[in-house]
Structure 1
Amino acid sequence: MGGSAAGSRRRLSDSEGQRAAQEPREPREPRPPPPDRQGAHWKNAMGFWLLGLCNNFSYVVMLSAAHDILSHKRASGNQSHVDPDPVPTPHNNSSRFDCNSVSTAAVLLADILPTLVIKLLAPLGLHLLPYSPRVLFSGICAAGSFILVAFSHSVVTSLCGVVLASISSGLGEVTFLSLTAFYPRAVISWWSSGTGGAGLLGALSYLGLTQVGLSPQHTLLSMLGIPALLLASYFLLLTSPGPQDPGGEEEAERAARQPLMSSEAPEAPEWKPDSSPSLSLQEKWTVFKGLQCYIIPLVLVYFAEYFINQGLFELLFFRNTSLSHAQQYRWYQMLYQAGVFASRSSLRCFRIQFTWALALLQCFNLVFLLVDIWLSFLPSIYIVFLIVLYEGLLGGAAYVNTFHNIALETSDEHREFAMATACVSDTLGISLSGLLALPLHDFLCRLS
């Protein structure tokens, strides 16, 4: 249907064709979509927002629960229990940081290493597996992660549940970012906003429910509706992708910038998910080289911010407040995710092409907070709250602008591969930060 409509628009009489060739070509103004397309646009926008929300939800909740998971203790009977507001009981009495015996970076690694493996292997052949089974498997893993951690009786079992959350999030991110190649580029903004919403809602819901007295076990079980919403959003809300409309503001911006790989794409491509053309190794390598200016800054941004989140948050402990250690950790996570949500939803307001600046600012945050942990010069936890909020703003802005820039600068036939390849950037940076945060935790916790 879309192809015949496009063909009818191209049918000109000979006289009209000659006159059009002689007259200077004027920029085409974007036309408002017809009502049926407008309805499809909003369904897809809401669909990708919900997919971003649901896909990252379990990942965020596991990081918010990291301190509780590692403080895990067995209660009487068959119930596993973690006190929502435990009294600080340092595992190392010689340390001023009130350390757990294991760094929260251990939860980070369990939550990110399976994702890293999936994203590294995805460009090699994940596209051969249809989208629907991937989405179904992702939803099942998300539900399994909540159930396994909720009924766990040991840290090891809990970490296995975290691994399931990682598989769900990693497979889902690769799948849905690749899927954006078959929809208008505006869905990238909605997807990014949804992932930011997952951070805020996930951290806030875990903080709020435990704050009012609900046990971590019942808090996790109350979140089982999220995987069901993921499946409903994909199978019931998204419309079938059609040909991309080459007009509009986004195409004008794209035409003014240098593409990552110059090649002529067929007009109004009608590629469908699960039937995209295979790229040669040479084409993949050329696209990958063009992505380096975006991959490297995003790796640095996520390395710095997750080194802070899972390596330093637990050590930024203030004894002169009414908040317990566990509550301080949950507030750090919630404020960070609030910043991420705000900046991932900001693409309509402002766009950043040079993401290197964001990487440098995030690295400065890391150094500043590391020096504070060593010297303890910040007088109030509220200053740290502001820094953590700012940290989230930088991280979210780097994410959404990176993928938006990639979408503008890749040709249609390369966009699916480019999205799947670039999404390894944040995961690689997070994995490196977790590996380095573990020995740093042990070193600092031995300090008197």
Structure 2
Amino acid sequence: MEHSLRNWIGLFLLGSINNLPYVIVTSAAKTIADSVALGYLRLFPSKCVNAWSSGTGMAGVLGSAIYIIFGCSIGESNDKSQLKTLTKYAFLLTLPAVAVYLIAYFVIIKAPKTDDTFHRGDPSIQKPLNEEERSLLHGSDEGALTVESTLHRLRRCWGLVWWLSLNLCAVYLFEYVAQGCASKVRPASEYNKGCPELFAALSFCYQAGVFVSRSSVQLFQIKRVEVLSVLQFLNMVLWIFDVHYKFIPVYLLPALMIYVGLLGGASYVNIFYLLLHEDKYPEEDREFCINIVSLFITGGIVLGTALETVLFNTVLESD
């Protein structure tokens, strides 16, 4: 129980700090670190993914809150020097997180020994495959161990995870377009006013939704992740139409943006929970499968920002 709580706290801190900085070079490092850390979770009970994902959700809440706090403190001016000050102090505030990250990784988290059994959060106990089991899995003759090429392993694992990969990519694509549309769903005169400013407030609502749903897998699990993708697609269409027609009252926008975050966060945590929990993913390939799927997060973000850029420079340019 003590180790479980320590690991939970450590993974939460690791997820929070690992996802806090998110620009160019640091975002590249973050993407690699995400993939490695998610694969590392195979050493823990599957529900520990809830701690990691909850931490990543908290990072979004903290990041958007920092900008709101500093934005309110410097007033409503559009002075570029003040914006530069806001950015500088926001990033300086994250520097101490490096120390917390190292403490979480090296001190708090205690991974099971490599020869320990793997417990996936259910009554069954799974042990690492022995040589005979691996040879049978790879289809070798007479129980002899075969050496599988990297390409063959990639093809085999892709056959296991392609559906989850595409759904994770899609949900990120749709939510990033919807989130970007928040910058244009109201007339320009309604932005850069008040505290918090409209777009900053909607961004905070989105992150709050992500945090709640990424912390939900302990309470319930969703296997039909494609349902979340379809609902997020409908969300994206709604926000795109609202950019042009502006028919949604401003007081409903925060709830709708929380809903966008809820769907995106639920897709993330449930997909990685399935990868860590389901027996269909061989124990020896679980980390590799997770690495493949995590790459599609970046794919979804790239496609989402590209689609948003095209829309804002073509059919939605004058809105």
Asked whether the two chains share a fold, i.e. TM above 0.5, the reply is yes
Q: Distance in 2 between matches of 1:426 and 1:248?
A: 24
* Counterpart check, 1:43 vs 2:10: no
**380, 395, 398: which one pairs with 2:267?**
398
How does 1:38-437 map onto structure 2 within 5 Å? 38-59=1-22, 162-213=23-74, 215-216=85-86, 217-242=88-113, 243-246=115-118, 249-250=121-122, 252=124, 264=133, 280-310=150-180, 312-318=181-187, 324=193, 327-378=197-248, 380-409=249-278, 410-437=281-308
Per-residue Cα deviation, 1:397-438 (whole angstroms, up to 9, x for no partner): 000000111112222111111111110122111111111211
> Alpha-carbon deviation of 1:45?
1.4
Q: Aligned-residue CA RMSD in angstroms? A: 2.7
User: 2:306 is matched by which residue type in structure 1?
Assistant: L
How far apart in 2 are the matches of 1:207 and 1:330?
6
CA displacement, residues 131-181 of structure 1 (integer Å, 9 cap, x when unaligned):
xxxxxxxxxxxxxxxxxxxxxxxxxxxxxxx21221221121011011112
Q: Deviations 1:203-248 (Å, cap 9, x if unpaired)?
A: 1122123223384122321221122221221122222432444557
Report the Cα offset of residue 351 of structure 1: 0.5
Q: 1:344 to 1:188 in 2, by over 3 A?
A: same
8 Å CA contact 1:340–1:393 kept in 2: the answer is: yes
Specify the alignment match of 1:148 in structure 2: none
**Distance across 1 between alignment mates of 2:310 and 2:18:** 30
Mapped contact 2:7–2:109 kept (Cα < 8 A): yes
TM-score, normalised relative to structure 1: 0.60
Secondary structure of the 1:315 match is coil
CA contact (8 A) 2:20 2:59 kept: yes
CA contact (8 A) 2:183 2:199 kept: yes
Inter-CA distance 375–250: structure 2 relative to 1 (3 Å threshold): same
CA contact (8 A) 2:16 2:59 kept: yes
- Return the alpha-carbon distance in structure 2 between the equivalents of residues 197 and 265 of structure 1: 39
Q: Which amino acid aligns with 2:69?
A: G
Distance in structure 2 (CA, Å) of the matches to 1:211 and 1:183: 42
Q: In structure 1, what residue type is equivalent to 2:307? A: L
Structure 1 residue 284, shift from structure 2 partner: 2.6
Equivalent pair of 1:184/1:244 in contact (CA under 8 Å): no
| Alpha-carbon distance, 1:445 to partner | 6.0
SS in 1 for 2:10: helix
Contact 1:352 1:401 in 2 (8 A): yes
1:439 pairs with 2:300: no
CA apart distance, 1:251: 5.0
The Cα offsets for residues 293-318 of structure 1, whole Å up to 9 and x where unpaired, read as 211111111110001123x1221234
1:67 equivalent in structure 2: none
Q: Deviations over 1:100-152 (max 9, x none)?
A: xxxxxxxxxxxxxxxxxxxxxxxxxxxxxxxxxxxxxxxxxxxxxxxxxxxxx
TM-score normalised by length of structure 2? 0.82
Rate the CA distance shift 1:371–1:253 in 2: closer, same or farther, 3 A: farther
Separation of aligned partners in 1, 2:243 and 2:125: 45
| Structure 2 residues not aligned, in runs of 5+ | 75-81, 127-131, 136-146
Map Cα deviations across residues 357-409 of structure 1 (whole Å, 9 max, x no partner).
Answer: 0000000011111111111212x212111110000000000000001111122
Distance 2:201 2:11 in 1: 28
Partner of 2:79: none
CA distance in 2, matches of 1:329, 1:44: 36
Gaps of 5+ in 1: 1-37, 60-161, 255-262, 267-276
Question: Displacement of 1:186 after TM fit?
Answer: 2.7
Larger Rg: 1
Percentage identity across paired residues of the two chains: 27
Alpha-carbon separation, structure 1, partners of 2:166 and 2:89: 40
Q: Once the two structures are superposed, what CA deviation does each residue of 1:244-273 show, in whole Å capped at 9, x if it has no partner?
A: 44557525499xxxxxxxx9469xxxxxxx
Which 10-residue stretch deviates more, 295-304 or 224-233? 224-233
